[in-house]
Structure formats: C-alpha cells, structure tokens
C-alpha cells in the first residue's frame, strides 16, 4: 500500500535521527534516495546500511544554507536518477531553550538559515522539475513548536511556525499543478538532537514516553506514497498526544 517503487526522493537531515530513519524506510520501500547532510562519514555509513539492505541510495554532501550547494545537489540527483518525486526537508537545529532576550542576532540568523531558509531554497530548487512532471511531494518537518510555544526555544518555535506557512503557501500556489506540500509535526523524539534532555513534560503527555524516529518515518512514508494524494497543505502530528494538552 505504501510503496515507492522507482520514486526518487531527496531527504535533507538524512545523516541523523528522523531524516536517517526516513531515508532508510524510503529505500526499503523501493525509492532511490539521495541522503543530504554535511557529515560525510555519517552519510557514507548510512548509504552502506541501505545498500546492505539491497536499497539504492547516494550521499550528496550539502549544506542547506548554501544555495550553490543545493543547486549542485539537485543537479547530481537528476544526473544519477533522472528526476525528483519527493523532497523531505528534515535538516534542522535546536537552540536549546533560549528565550528572545537570550538569543543573539547571529544565533537567530543561524537557526533560521537552516530550519527555514534551507527548506525554502530546497523547495525552490526542486519545484521546476516537479512542475514539469505535473507531480511532486514536498514534506517539511515541523514540530510541536509549529503549534505551541514552550519554555524558551524562541527561534526554534518561530522557525517551526514559519515552515508551516511555507508548507501551506506551496500548496496554495502549486497544488493545482500537481504539487503536494504537507508538514509532519513530531513531538519529543529520541535522536541526537534530544540526547541528554530529561523533559519532565513527557510524563504528562498521553503516551507518557518519547517517540522513535521510525514512528515519524512511517508517517513520512504515507505522505510520500500515492496513497496520500488527497492530503494537501496540512500538518500531521505524531507526538504521543503532546499538543492535545498536558
Ligand atoms: P538530529 O540532530 O539527529 O539531525 C539533524 C540533521 O540536520 C542532521 O542530519 C544534520 O546533518 C542536518 N543538518 C543540520 N544543519 C544542516 C545544514 N546546515 N545543512 C545540511 N544539513 C544540516 O535531529 P533530529 O533528527 O531530531 O531532527 C530532524 C528534524 O526533526 C529537525 O528539523 C528537527 O527540528 C525536527 N524535530 C525533531 C524533534 C525531536 O524531538 N528530535 C521534534 C520535532 C521536530 P549534518 O550534521 O550531516 O549536517
């Protein structure tokens, strides 16, 4: 039902955590996957795992703050696999719970350049190819911070609200031309980003536990597959009930 045979997917943030789980599940489901990140060793290790599992994937070292590197990544994807069907914008950083007064202008720009502008530039770089085909799926990774503020995290929450705006605007502008744009809003997921954070609030959420990257990847598989063709401009939460209230 959720298969991606012969689809070509670019997954940013594919070198770790949630993006890594998505890249691996996509490859297992038949897609040719381009894993994007800056860490060459991690990238190569993940490609080796995927190949051991008989999947097809390439690592293209790319910093999503560089438009030049993004364009090169998209060109290399098309040279290798001929097209692009799916883009997952998973690259992101957290600012470790700083409020507005504690956040410098430099830190604000750094986080926005990765979490928001990186997704914007990636979408811009793949859209023409998708529009030529009349079909394409863009999946942005938001957060519970897409809907609610929390202790600190001023720039993070701002970026995750904004990426939902980008998601909806792409759906609005290009939905009639076959582009689907949706957002996944994970809750607290066990990845290197959350390592060492003992979040007391987890005890009070309905699931009473953190999530696993694979649990987010399942939703990303649904959104990448043809089964989800009617989903448009929407946010899909996978947060153990975090945003229903605690
Ligand atoms: P990780 O820290 O495990 O992974 C972050 C990924 O982003 C890495 O693959 C890293 O690759 C990539 N990245 C960071 N900066 C850049 C850059 N400049 N250029 C290219 N790639 C970059 O985090 P998670 O897997 O937890 O997070 C993935 C996404 O999910 C993020 O957008 C995050 O905000 C979101 N999220 C995470 C939650 C969680 O609880 N873990 C909850 C809600 C949302 P490399 O180091 O190779 O550059």
Q: Where are the domains of the chain?
A: 8-244
Query: For residue 243, what are its two tokens?
Result: 């945003």
**Reading across the β-sheet that carries 235-238, which strands appear in turn?**
56-61, 32-37, 8-12, 86-89, 136-141, 179-186, 235-238
172 alpha carbon – ligand 1 mean position (Å): 27
Give 84-143 pLDDT, tens digit per residue. Answer: 999 999 999 998 779 999 999 999 999 999 999 999 999 999 999 999 999 999 999 999
DSSP 3-state assignment of 150? coil
Residue 213 in tokens = 């990257």
Q: How far apart are CA 102 and CA 2, in angstroms?
A: 44
Q: What is the pLDDT of residue 163?
A: 98
**Are 70 and 121 within 8 A, CB to CB?**
yes
Which tens digit of pLDDT belongs to each residue from 134-188?
999 999 999 999 999 988 789 999 999 999 999 999 999 999 999 999 999 999 9
Residues with CB under 6 A from ligand 1: 12-13, 15-19, 37-39, 42, 63-65, 90-93, 114, 141, 143, 186, 188-189, 191-194
Could you tell me what percent of the chain has a pLDDT over 90?
93
CB 15 within 8 A of CB 42: yes
pLDDT at 38 over 90: yes
**How far from the centroid of its chain's Cα atoms is residue 222's Cα?**
14
State mean pLDDT over 234-239: 98
Evaluate if residue 61 carries a pLDDT over 80. Answer: yes
pLDDT of 201 higher than 80? yes
**Predicted local distance difference test score (pLDDT) of residue 96:** 79
ipTM of the complex: 0.99
Length of the chain: 246
- Torsion angle in degrees (nearest 10) through CA of 118, 122, 127, 129: 170
Bridge partners for 87 per DSSP = 10, 138
Out of 26, 81, 156, 172, pick the active-site residue. Answer: 156
CATH of domain 8-244: 3.40.50.720
Q: Does residue 62 register a pLDDT over 80? A: yes
């Amino acid at each position: 039902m959720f298969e991606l045979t012969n689809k070509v997917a670019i997954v940013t943030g594919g070198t770790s955590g949630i993006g890594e789980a998505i890249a691996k599940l996509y490859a297992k489901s038949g897609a040719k996957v381009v894993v994007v990140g800056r860490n060459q060793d991690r990238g190569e290790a993940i490609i080796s795992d995927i190949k051991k599992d008989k999947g097809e994937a390439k690592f293209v070292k790319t910093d999503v703050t560089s438009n030049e590197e993004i364009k090169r990544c998209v060109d290399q994807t098309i040279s290798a696999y001929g097209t692009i069907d799916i883009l997952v914008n998973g690259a992101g950083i957290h600012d470790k719970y700083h409020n507005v007064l504690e956040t410098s202008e430099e830190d604000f720009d750094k986080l926005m350049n990765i979490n928001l502008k990186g997704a914007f530039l990636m979408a811009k770089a793949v859209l023409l190819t998708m529009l030529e085909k009349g079909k394409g799926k863009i999946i942005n990774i938001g957060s519970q911070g897409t809907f609610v503020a929390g202790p600190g995290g001023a720039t993070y929450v701002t970026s995750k609200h904004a990426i939902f705006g980008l998601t909806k605007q792409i759906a609005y502008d290009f939905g009639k031309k076959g582009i689907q744009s949706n957002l996944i809003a994970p809750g607290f997921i066990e990845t290197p980003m959350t390592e060492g954070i003992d979040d007391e609030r987890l005890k009070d959420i309905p699931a009473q536990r953190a999530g696993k990257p694979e649990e987010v990847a399942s939703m990303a598989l649904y959104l990448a597959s043809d089964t989800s063709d009617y989903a448009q401009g929407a946010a899909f939460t996978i947060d153990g009930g975090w945003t229903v209230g605690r």
